């Protein structure tokens, strides 16, 4: 018999809606798994225990009164530690915010609760979203459920590990340059980064505002679509949120991939890939052909400058966004006496970890007087070229595919002292981020050592419908998403 924790969010909500299972029973089931498995994994930084059970009781009470409950009725959802919830701590993986309590709740979380979801707990992350391994966290690293000596990817590594270990069917993440897709790939789950502006950023602790997106980690493509339905839409709290509504679409609308032209940008499908990633991707491409897709070679000529462009923009925007953490307004204050400057210096030197400090230094340098045009301005131009590359590519095809990550999950500690090696983990995900495109990673096979490999899909602006439908066809006809990491 299938256990409750093996079911999708969609299936769990149906059981709650029909009264076969109570929301309390679901919350209890997943909290028990967290208690049993998370001490070794550390996917969560905190779970809400009794408070989650009380929220589940409220869903059950609403059902008992015959009130309508939402499409996520009783579904336990975890969220990344950079989305705020009123009255609760949000630390963004940083010592700087260790005791910060928000006066308001992030729109994405509000909308999930309005849809009936039960918020289970906060998941671990690289400090302020800066990293690709979840090792840059003040709470210590998270482990990969498939191989505990390996990283889960990052920065939403806690959310990806939580879903991969079936500690919850859905976990909210954020993706600035790949932080939902890359950990999804390394943990063997689905990761959706919607178009920039599709889901409100209100209540998401800012890293790089022109790139930040709220996304989700799920076990199935359909669950990712369900999450998007519940959270997407304009919001007065985020002026960049899109007014355009998400079109009505059924994820299972396509029987196969016939009639779709799928582009293979050669720059993302060969150079720099680990051999085992290449081999798995070759099989995935063959599968796409078998499903009726027409695969076409294409090019994104400016992708070679995507990583430096991304890091310049991200660090500059971070330097500006993180200027607010001055030791006065957000809790943490370093020990210093004398001047205001000494206090700020002490607070920022001991409140931020090494990687954040490195980026703030570089970002501040890039924005220093007289250099803006040379650095930030140039990067903005490079970004425009890349956008134009995507426009051209999409003139000849409907969707693009590539691997999500050039490497599978790597051993804990193996890249942490080499920032450049870490930054190169993002080579395949930052292009869609720079262009603001919707993108998704889904499991497409395994290495000889049993580590998951991810297939990345990229769609034209606002075409989440097409993205999710195509990925759903691949999922329906393959079984890469089925094996579970932990009993």
Q: Is 379 in the site for ligand GLN (CB under 6 A)?
A: no
Q: Is 194 in the site for ligand GLN (CB under 6 A)?
A: no
Whether 155 is catalytic is yes
Strands across the sheet with 118-123, in order?
A: 44-47, 118-123, 76-80, 170-175, 213-218, 190-193, 439-446, 452-458, 399-403, 261-265, 294-298
Residue 339, token pair as written in the block: 């001047």
Residue among 155 and 478 whose Cβ is closer to ligand GLN: 155
Residue among 38 and 175 whose Cβ is closer to ligand GLN: 175
* Per-residue mark of binding to ligand GLN, 408-427 (x: CB under 6 A): ------------------x-
Q: Return d(Cα 222, Cα 472) in angstroms, integer.
A: 7
* Per-residue mark of binding to ligand GLN, 151-190 (x: CB under 6 A): ----x-------------------xxxxx-----------
CB of 318 to ligand GLN, least distance (A): 8
Applying CB under 6 A, which part among 8-16, 97-105, 128-136, 252-260 lies near ligand GLN?
A: 128-136
Q: Return d(Cα 322, Cα 360) in angstroms, integer.
A: 8
Q: Return d(Cα 300, Cα 302) in angstroms, integer.
A: 6
Point out the catalytic residue in the list 155, 156, 200, 433.
155
Neighbours of 479 (CB within 10 A): 9
Residue among 181 and 285 whose Cβ is closer to ligand GLN: 181
Q: Is 131 in the site for ligand GLN (CB under 6 A)?
A: yes
Backbone φ, ψ for residue 371 (5° rounding): -110, -5
* Per-residue mark of binding to ligand GLN, 295-314 (x: CB under 6 A): -------------------x
Which residue's CB atom is positioned nearest to ligand GLN? 179
Strand partners, 46: 122
Residue whose tokens read 């930030």: 376
Point out the catalytic residue in the list 80, 94, 133, 405.
80
Using a 10 angstrom Cβ sphere, with 0-12 exposed, 13-18 middle and 19 or more buried, the burial of residue 4 is middle
In angstroms, how far is CA 447 from the centroid of its own chain? 23
Q: Return d(Cα 23, Cα 16) in angstroms, integer.
A: 6
Point out the catalytic residue in the list 132, 137, 179, 433.
179
Whether 179 is catalytic is yes
Whether 241 is catalytic is no
Q: How many amino acids of this chain bind ligand GLN (CB under 6 A)?
A: 13
CB of 131 to ligand GLN, least distance (A): 5
Neighbours of 382 (CB within 10 A): 19
Binding site for ligand GLN (CB under 6 A): 129-132, 155, 175-179, 207, 314, 426
Active site residues: 80, 155, 179
């Amino acid at each position: 018999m299938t256990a409750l924790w093996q079911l999708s969010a969609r299936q769990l909500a149906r059981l709650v809606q029909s009264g076969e299972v109570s929301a309390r029973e679901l919350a209890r089931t997943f909290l028990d798994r967290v208690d049993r498995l998370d001490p070794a994994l550390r996917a969560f930084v905190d779970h809400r225990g009794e408070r989650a059970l009380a929220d589940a009781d409220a869903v059950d009470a609403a059902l008992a009164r015959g009130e309508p409950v939402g499409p996520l009725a009783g579904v336990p959802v975890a969220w990344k530690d950079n989305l705020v919830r009123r009255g609760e701590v949000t630390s963004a993986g940083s010592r700087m915010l260790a005791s910060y309590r928000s006066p308001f709740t992030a729109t994405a979380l509000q909308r999930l609760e309005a849809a009936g979801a039960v918020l289970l707990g906060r998941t671990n992350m690289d400090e302020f979203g800066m990293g690709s391994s979840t090792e840059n966290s003040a709470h210590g690293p998270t482990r990969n459920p498939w191989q505990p000596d390996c990283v889960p990817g990052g920065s939403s590594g806690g959310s990806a590990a939580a879903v991969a270990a079936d500690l919850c069917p859905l976990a909210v993440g954020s993706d600035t340059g790949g932080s939902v897709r890359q950990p999804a790939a390394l943990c063997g789950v689905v990761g959706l980064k919607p178009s920039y502006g599709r889901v409100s950023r209100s209540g998401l602790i800012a890293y790089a505002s022109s790139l930040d997106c709220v996304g989700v980690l799920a076990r199935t493509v359909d669950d990712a679509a369900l999450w998007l339905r519940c959270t997407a839409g304009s919001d007065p709290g985020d002026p960049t949120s899109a007014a355009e509504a998400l079109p009505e679409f059924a994820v299972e609308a396509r029987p196969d991939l016939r009639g779709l032209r799928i582009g293979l940008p050669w720059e993302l499908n060969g150079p720099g890939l680990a051999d085992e990633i290449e081999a798995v991707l070759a099989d995935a491409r063959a599968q796409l052909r078998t499903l009726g897709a027409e695969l076409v070679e294409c090019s994104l000529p400016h992708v070679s400058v995507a990583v430096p462009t991304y890091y310049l923009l991200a660090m500059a925007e971070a330097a500006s966004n993180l200027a607010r953490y001055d030791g006065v307004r957000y809790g943490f204050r370093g020990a210093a006496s004398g001047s205001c400057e000494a206090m700020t210096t002490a607070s920022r030197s001991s409140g931020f970890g090494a990687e954040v400090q490195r980026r703030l230094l570089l970002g501040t340098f890039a924005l220093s007087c007289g250099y803006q045009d040379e650095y930030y301005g140039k990067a903005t131009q490079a970004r425009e070229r890349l956008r134009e590359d995507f426009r051209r590519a999409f003139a000849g095809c409907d969707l693009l595919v590539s691997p999500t990550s050039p490497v599978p999950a790597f051993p804990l500690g193996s890249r942490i002292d080499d920032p450049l090696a870490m930054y190169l983990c993002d080579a395949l995900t930052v292009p869609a981020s720079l262009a603001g495109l919707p993108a998704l990673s889904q499991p497409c096979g395994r290495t000889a050592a049993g580590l998951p490999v991810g297939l990345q899909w990229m769609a034209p602006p606002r075409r989440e419908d097409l993205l999710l439908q195509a990925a759903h066809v691949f999922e329906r006809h393959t079984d890469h998403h089925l094996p579970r990491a932990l009993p």
